[in-house]
């Protein structure tokens, strides 16, 4: 074992304390049960608007937010989340980390059961994890498991799934071996790509194992019905280990993409929860339905990217900084999006546990100072009124993106004299062009984090990352991230990530615009709802109050 | 007659083949593929998926493979809804769309015909003008404006009917969507019917019937109705097409699990098999329906003989 990976005495003590504190949290963060004395509704049914139709209920193939909402109710991973977003034990009731930080040993609950009564064993997790990385499965999220030993080799097909660093020591003990210490691993273990599967029913039903009637799940609910384009209904799983604390009996998810329609159905009393809200009705909603309006920060950043591989933005940091400074973010969030989005002067959204996000220096400047500096930089970059910058803003077809693009183009024109044309494209075409980097100049982008750690944003700017649409290539940045990945000390790791974020922001491969918020109607009779930055909610924590 | 039927039957196949070929190659011509999403796949997994769905084969080979599957009645798996095959999606979606569409056409036919006749009999009176003006409004207001208005009035304010959802085809859930679908068609048919009825009522044989002393009702129903219906029947072809395409909007707004949405969603998602399946299915439907309309012609008008 190399000397870098041997933890010092202090760090060992730290890790032991960490494990102990986790066990303490386990007992303290019990599932939220309704407070004594609350009058509950007779019928405990929750009706949720769920956005687009879920593509699949196979946890290892699922992608997209709508299916993740349903899966969270159907399945449970090794860890779970408390209503406020903290990591708590899931199927694993406790765990121990080895001295060098690379081997986790999980002890599984003995009373954890599948919806058909079979016990949940460590073998189910081994089966699930191997299937998740197997190339045949075609999972889009197998990269989440990259920290596990040999995961990348299995994903690329170089090694068989059996080589993955997970093994069942016995029916209730699971051992996971990592490539290097991974402080954020526990947060990954409640992602759907790490869920266990009931091997027998997968083998019996093959591709159809995720259908109603076939699907065996280990979460608080089981699948009752799925009418494509109409609804997905889940009902209580009586075998769930914590079923005694589950109040809601049934949850019905309605795929409603049109936000206006969703709001009408809420108003008609058919929904208790909307996934989103129509942007142009904010004022009315706030006035008339204010007690049901819930707005909270979400782990996502909306930004404009610059294509760094072509002129005019190649090798021109001054121009990029000038354009970013010339955007009036307060006006965009106050007048265009209007729902309380947070103006963004950074990359990683605020609110991630234990992390201090970086902020661009001009975030606090008065407007005049900011614009004056922007004009100065614009001139230094070689542009002026006689020689204005001519560029294009590309976005995917959507009302909101159009409004923001119009506003930004107007701001650039007014403040700098830039001549920006607007170009909207259909989603798939837009994605293709953005990835190819052949024709893009300024493009709209947004990213919602996959897990509660700054790395889910930091990695996007790695030189070889598939989502690095600006084409940012900074070896120093890559080195910092690599160093952070090998740092066991949590605080030190966060510092390194912070440093990297600041470095990247100053180079301006992007102009951040705003941080996302979730905005929805939550009927006041729904109890137990708590906003959290990941927007992960478990129906087992809710209860319907009597009207 | 029999030879006519055989001729039409034989002629349908080349039509269908051209439709399939055009749709197939046009779909593939659009940039972007079914597995392109924001999150990129590792190249090995992308290659795996392409191999599994035969997307790595040359295009003409995929085309022939698709035709072969079609002949066996297999529309293939859906790329977007990974747990379902296209056959299953069409099998569950079609009865829903059929129920909505057929009801809408039937209502449009009966109500529109009645209104048109009513107006024709009171030609150039105040009643006539107001009824036709109402019809004009019905034609001008698009589906996606009318439907939310109906929801607002009847579901949100009056709370008489549900705002959406299908509930396995409960009657209450079908009322608003069918009304929204049929209103534009009622408007068209009533205007058509009025015009054609006025013309028929002027003809010599109607004058003869009246001169013979037949009651108004007999004149209308026995002598005038059938010839007056001819233009309306020929409109039914485009009307059905309109209802089918209109159902995309209506199904979206009311949250109804019909076929219409698969059309648009499938194209946007580049779900090749789903779009092809719906296109082929609708193609067959329209060919069959047009054929039936032509047969009804022959029933209505003794002058038409095949």
Of B37, B45, B156, the CB nearest to A63: B37
Q: Helix or strand or coil: residue A82?
A: coil
pLDDT score at A32: 52
- Separation of alpha carbons B217 and A463, rounded Å: 83
Of the candidates B38, B89, B254, which has its C-beta nearest A228's C-beta?
Answer: B89
Contact across the interface for A428 and B30, Cβ inside 8 Å? yes
Q: Which long-range contacts (CB under 8 A, 24 or more apart) does B217-225 make?
A: B220/B117, B224/B197, B224/B200, B225/B117
Buried b (16+ CB within 10 A) or exposed e, A176-214: bbbbbbbbbbbbbbbbbbbbbbbbebbeeeeeebbeeeb
Partner A, chain B 131-150, Cβ-Cβ below 8 Å: 148
| A241-295 per-position pLDDT tens digit | 999 999 999 999 999 988 899 999 999 999 999 999 988 888 899 999 999 999 9
State the average pLDDT over residues B58-83.
Answer: 91
DSSP A400: H
**Strand, helix or coil for residue B301:** coil
Shortest CA gap A20–chain B (Å): 37
Q: Which of A165-169, A503-507, B5-9 has the least mean pLDDT?
A: B5-9
Q: Are residues B163 and A267, on separate chains, in Cβ contact within 8 Å?
A: yes
For residue A33, what pLDDT is reported? Answer: 67
Q: Given an 8 Å threshold on Cβ–Cβ distance, is B89 in contact with A260?
A: no
Kindly determine whether residue A228 and residue B258, on different chains, have CB atoms separated by under 8 Å: no
Which residues lie closer than 8 Å to A330 by C-beta, 6 or more apart?
A: A343
Give ipTM to 2 decimals: 0.86
Beta strands in A38-81 (DSSP E): 45-49, 79-81
Does position B298 have pLDDT exceeding 90, yes or no? no
Give the closest-approach CA distance of B275 to chain A in angstroms.
16
Nearest CB to B44; choose among A156, A231, A256? A156
What is the Cα–Cα distance from A443 to A463, expressed in whole angstroms?
19
| Cβ B158 vs Cβ B149: under 8 Å | no
CB contact under 8 A, A228 and B41: no
Rounded Cα distance, B93 and B83, in Å: 15
Burial of residue B278, with CB atoms counted within 10 A of its CB: 0-12 exposed, 13-18 middle, 19 or more buried: buried
Tell whether B48 lies on the interface with A, counting CB pairs under 8 A: yes
DSSP-derived pairing of the beta strands A390-396 and A442-448: parallel
Give me the mean pLDDT over the B3-21 stretch.
Answer: 90
**A157, A427, A428: residue with CB nearest B44:** A157
**Chain centroid offset of residue A236 CA:** 26
Q: Are A356 and A349 in contact (CB under 8 A)?
A: no
**CA–CA gap between residue B109 and residue B232 (Å, rounded):** 8
Average pLDDT over residues A477-494: 90
Radius of gyration over alpha carbons of chain A, in Å?
24
Rounded Cα distance between A37 and A168, Å, is 44
For residues A44-52, give the mean pLDDT.
94
Residues 6+ apart with CB under 8 A from B215: none
Residue B119 is predicted with a pLDDT of 92
Q: Which residue in the set B45, B93, B155 is minimally distant from A135, CB to CB?
A: B45
d(CA A409, CA A391): 10
Partners of A233 in the β-ladder: A225, A252
Residues 65-124 of B with CB under 8 A from A: 80-84, 89, 92-93
CA B262 to chain centre: 14
A156·B42 Cβ contact <8 A: yes
SS3 A467: coil
Summarised one tens digit per residue, pLDDT across range B232-290 is: 988 887 788 778 777 888 998 998 998 888 888 888 888 999 999 998 988 888 888 88
On whether the CB atoms of residues A125 and A168 are closer than 8 A, the answer is yes
* Bond before B167 cis per omega within 30 degrees: no
H/E stretch holding A532: none
CA pair distance A252, A271, nearest whole angstrom: 9
Compute the nearest-CA separation of A268 from chain B (Å). Answer: 5
Confidence of residue A464 (pLDDT cuts 50, 70, 90): confident
Average model confidence (pLDDT) for chain B?
A: 88
Yes or no: domain A9-249+522-544 corresponds to CATH 3.90.76.10: yes
Give, as one character, the DSSP assignment of residue A35: P
B89 → chain A, closest CA residue: A228
Among B83, B168, B256, beta carbon nearest to A210? B83
Q: Which of B111, B103, B141, B161 is nearest to A265 (CA)?
A: B161
Give me the helices (H) in A118-192, please.
122-133, 151-156, 185-188
* Phi, psi at A446, each rounded to 5°: -150, 150
How far does CA B122 lie from the centroid of its chain?
32
pLDDT in the model for residue A18: 47
Per-residue pLDDT tens digits for B190-241: 999 999 999 999 999 899 999 999 998 888 888 888 889 888 988 887 788 7
Compute the count of residue pairs across chains A and B with CB atoms less than 8 Å apart: 134
Q: Provide the percentage of residues in chain A whose pLDDT is more than 70.
A: 94
Return the higher-pLDDT residue of A489 and A202.
A202
Share of chain B above pLDDT 90, in %: 41
B116 CA: distance to closest CA in chain A (Å): 34
Q: Let me know the angle formed at the C-alpha of A171 by A170 and A172, rounded to the nearest 5 degrees.
A: 95
Cβ contact, residue pair B163, A210, below 8 Å: no
Task: Provide the pLDDT for residue A336.
Answer: 87
More confident residue, A487 or A195: A195
Fold of A298-518: Dipeptide-binding Protein; domain 3 (3.10.105)
> Which tens digits make up the pLDDT trace of A325-344?
999 999 999 988 888 899 99
pLDDT at A83: 86
Residue A24 pLDDT exceeds 60: no
| Residue of chain A whose Cα is closest to the Cα of B38 | A431
Question: What is the average pLDDT score of chain A?
Answer: 90
What pLDDT shows up at residue A177? 96
Number of DSSP helices (H) and strands (E) in chain B, helices first: 12, 0
Q: Search chain A and give the residue with CA nearest B161.
A: A268
Amino acid A156: pLDDT: 85
Give the whole-angstrom CA distance, residue A523 versus residue B83: 32
Q: Cis omega before residue A355 (within 30°)?
A: no
Residues 6+ apart with CB under 8 A from A9: none
Going edge to edge, which strands form the sheet with A442-448?
Answer: A342-343, A510-521, A293-306, A442-448, A390-396, A419-425
Give the Cβ contact number of residue A245 at 10 Å.
15
Rounded CA-CA distance A184/A197 in Å is: 23
Find the closest chain B residue to A158 by CA distance. B44
* Nearest-by-CA chain A residue for B157: A268
Nearest to A155 among B45, B81, B168 (CB): B45
Distance CA A302, CA A323 (A): 16
Distance from CA of B171 to the nearest CA of A (A): 16
Q: Report the b/e string of A104-128 with b at 16+ CB within 10 A.
A: bbbbbbeebbbbeebbbbbebbbbb
Instruction: Indicate if the pLDDT at residue A21 is higher than 70.
Output: no
pLDDT of residue A461: 95
Are the Cβ atoms of B151 and A427 closer than 8 angstroms?
Answer: no
**Nearest CA-CA distance, residue A507 and chain B, Å:** 24
Four-point Cα dihedral B50, B53, B58, B60, nearest 10: -160
- A296 neighbors A518 (Cβ within 8 angstroms): yes
Q: What ranges do the domains of chain A cover? A: 9-249+522-544, 298-518
- Strand, helix or coil at B123? coil
Distance CA A222, CA A233 (A): 9
Q: Tell if the CB–CB gap between A264 and B270 is shorter than 8 Å.
A: no
B269 to chain A: which residues are within 8 Å by CB? 428
Outline where DSSP puts E strands in A255-405: 293-306, 342-343, 390-396
For residue B88, the number of C-alpha atoms closer than 13 Å in the C-beta half-sphere is 12
pLDDT score for A184: 83
Give CA–CA dist B179/B100, Å, rounded. Answer: 10
β-bridge partners, A296: A518
What pLDDT is recorded for position A357?
93
For A16-19, which contacts have Cβ atoms below 8 Å and span 24 or more sequence positions? A18/A97, A19/A95, A19/A96, A19/A97
A192-212: average pLDDT: 93
- Whether B172 and chain A come into contact, CB under 8 Å, resolves to no
**CB-based contact A140 B255, cutoff 8 Å:** no
CB contact under 8 A, B257 and A428: no
Question: What integer pLDDT is reported at residue A215 of this predicted model?
Answer: 95
- By the 8 A CB rule, do A187 and A106 touch? no
- Centre a 10 Å sphere on the Cβ of residue A547 and count the other Cβ atoms it contains: 8
The CA distance from A52 to B255, in Å, is 11
What pLDDT does A409 receive?
A: 97
- Residue B49, chain A, CB below 8 Å: the answer is yes
How does pLDDT run across A154-177, given as a tens digit for each residue?
Answer: 988 899 999 999 999 999 999 999
User: CA of A50: how far to CAs of A36, A63, A545, in Å?
Assistant: 31, 14, 22
Count of alpha carbons within 13 angstroms of residue A505, beta-carbon side? 25
Question: pLDDT tens for residues A380-433?
Answer: 999 998 899 999 999 999 888 999 999 999 999 999 999 999 999 988 899 989
Question: CA B111, B114, B117 angle in degrees (round to 5)?
Answer: 145
User: B259 vs chain A: nearest CA distance in angstroms?
Assistant: 10
Q: Do A211 and B52 touch (CB under 8 A)?
A: no
Within 8 A of A61 by CB-CB distance, chain B residues are: 82
Contact A431 B36 (CB under 8 A): yes
Mean pLDDT of A95-109: 93
User: How many whole angstroms separate alpha carbon A459 and alpha carbon A462?
Assistant: 5
Residues of chain A positioned with their CB less than 8 A from the CB of B162: 268, 270
Instruction: Band the pLDDT of A5: cuts 50, 70, 90.
Output: very low
**Nearest CA to CA, how far is B203 from chain A (Å)?**
51
Please name the member of B36, B89, B155 whose beta carbon is closest to the beta carbon of A428.
Answer: B36
- Phi first, then psi: give them for residue B179, nearest 5 degrees: -60, -45
Eight-state DSSP code of residue B54: T
Q: In Å, how far is A351's CA from the nearest CA of chain B? A: 24
- Cα A190 from Cα A89, distance rounded (Å): 10
Interface list for B 245-284 with A (CB within 8 A): 251-258, 261, 265, 268-270
Residues of A in contact with B80 (CB under 8 A): 55
Stated pTM of the model: 0.87
Q: Where are the alpha helices (DSSP H) in A29-116?
A: 65-74
Are B155 and A261 in contact (CB < 8 Å)? Answer: no
CB A340 within 8 A of CB A517: yes
CA distance B34 to chain A (A): 9
């Amino acid at each position: 074992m190399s000397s870098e990976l041997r933890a010092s005495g202090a760090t060992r003590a730290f890790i032991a304390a960490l494990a102990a504190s986790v066990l303490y949290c386990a007992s303290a963060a019990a599932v939220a049960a309704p407070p004594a004395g609350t009058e509950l509704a007779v019928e405990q049914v929750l009706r949720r608007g769920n956005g687009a139709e879920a593509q699949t209920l196979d946890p290892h193939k699922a992608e997209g937010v709508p299916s993740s909402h349903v899966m969270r109710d159907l399945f449970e991973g090794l860890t779970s989340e408390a209503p406020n977003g903290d990591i708590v034990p899931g199927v694993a009731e406790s765990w121990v980390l080895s001295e060098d930080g690379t081997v986790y040993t999980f002890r599984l609950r003995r009373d954890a059961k599948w919806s058909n009564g079979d016990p949940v064993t460590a073998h189910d997790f081994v089966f699930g994890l191997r299937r998740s990385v197997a190339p045949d499965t075609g999972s889009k999220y197998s990269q989440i498991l990259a920290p596990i030993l040999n995961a990348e080799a299995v994903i690329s097909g170089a090694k068989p799934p059996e080589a993955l660093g997970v093994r069942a020591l016995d029916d209730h003990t699971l051992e996971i071996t990592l490539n290097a210490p991974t402080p954020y691993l526990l947060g990954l273990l409640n992602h759907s790509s790490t869920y266990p599967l009931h091997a027998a029913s997968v083998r019996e039903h093959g591709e159809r194992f995720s259908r109603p009637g076939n699907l065996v799940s280990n979460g608080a609910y089981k699948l009752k019905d799925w009418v494509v384009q109409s609804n997905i209904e889940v009902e209580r799983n009586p075998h769930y280990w914590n079923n005694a604390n589950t109040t809601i009996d049934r949850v019905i998810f309605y795929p409603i993409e049109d936000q206006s329609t969703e709001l009408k159905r809420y108003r008609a009393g058919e929904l208790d929860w909307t996934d989103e809200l129509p942007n142009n009705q904010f004022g009315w909603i706030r006035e008339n339905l204010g007690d049901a309006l819930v707005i909270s920060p979400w782990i996502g950043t909306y930004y404009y990217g610059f294509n760094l591989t072509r002129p005019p933005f190649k090798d021109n940091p001054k121009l990029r900084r000038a354009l970013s400074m010339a955007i009036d973010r307060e006006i965009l969030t106050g007048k265009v999006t209007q729902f309380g989005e947070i103006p963004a002067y950074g990359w990683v959204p605020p609110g991630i546990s234990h992390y201090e996000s970086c902020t661009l220096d001009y975030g606090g400047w008065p407007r005049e100072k900011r614009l004056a500096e922007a004009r100065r930089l614009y001139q230094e970059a070689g542009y002026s009124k006689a020689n204005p910058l001519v560029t294009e803003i590309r976005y995917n077809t959507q009302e909101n993106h159009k409004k923001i693009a119009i506003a930004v183009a107007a701001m650039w024109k007014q403040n700098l004299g830039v001549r920006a044309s607007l170009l909207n494209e259909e989603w798939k075409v837009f994605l293709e062009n953005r990835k190819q980097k052949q024709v893009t100049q300024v493009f709209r982008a947004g990213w919602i984090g996959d897990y509660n750690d700054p790395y889910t944003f930091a990695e996007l700017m790695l030189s070889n990352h598939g989502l690095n649409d600006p084409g940012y290539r900074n070896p120093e940045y890559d080195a910092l991230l690599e160093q952070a990945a090998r740092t066991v000390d949590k605080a030190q790791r966060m510092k390194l990530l912070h440093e990297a974020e600041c470095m990247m922001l100053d180079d301006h491969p992007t102009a951040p615009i705003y941080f996302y918020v979730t905005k929805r109607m939550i009927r006041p009779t729904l109890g137990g709802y708590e906003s959290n930055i990941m927007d992960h909610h478990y129906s087992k924590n809710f209860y319907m109050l009597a009207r | 007659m029999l030879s006519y039927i055989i001729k039409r039957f034989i002629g349908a196949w080349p039509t269908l083949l051209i439709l399939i070929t055009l749709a197939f190659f046009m779909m593939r011509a659009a940039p972007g593929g079914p597995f392109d999403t924001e999150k990129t796949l590792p190249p090995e997994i992308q290659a795996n998926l392409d191999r599994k769905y035969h997307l790595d084969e040359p295009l003409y080979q995929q085309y022939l493979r698709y035709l072969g599957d079609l002949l066996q009645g297999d529309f293939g798996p859906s790329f977007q809804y990974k747990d379902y095959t296209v056959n299953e999606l069409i099998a569950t979606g079609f009865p829903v769309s059929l129920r909505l569409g057929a009801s809408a056409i039937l209502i449009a036919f009966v109500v529109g015909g009645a209104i048109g006749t009513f107006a024709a009999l009171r030609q150039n009176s105040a009643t006539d003008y107001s009824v036709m003006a109402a019809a004009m409004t019905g034609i001008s207001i698009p589906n996606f404006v009318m439907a939310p208005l109906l929801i607002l009035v009847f579901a949100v304010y009056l709370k008489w009917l549900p705002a959406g959802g299908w509930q396995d085809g409960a009657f209450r859930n079908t009322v608003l969507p069918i009304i929204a679908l049929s209103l534009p068609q009622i408007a068209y048919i009533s205007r058509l019917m009025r015009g054609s009825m006025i013309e028929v009522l002027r003809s010599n044989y109607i004058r003869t019937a009246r001169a013979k002393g037949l009651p108004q009702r007999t004149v209308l129903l026995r002598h005038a109705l059938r010839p007056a219906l001819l233009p309306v029947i020929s409109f039914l072809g485009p009307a059905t097409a309109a209802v089918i395409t209109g159902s995309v909007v209506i199904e979206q707004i009311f949250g109804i699990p019909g076929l219409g949405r698969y059309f648009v969603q499938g194209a946007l998602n580049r779900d090749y098999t789903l779009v092809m399946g719906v296109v082929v299915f609708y193609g067959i439907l329209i060919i069959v329906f047009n054929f039936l309309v032509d047969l009804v012609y022959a029933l209505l008008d003794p002058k038409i003989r095949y």
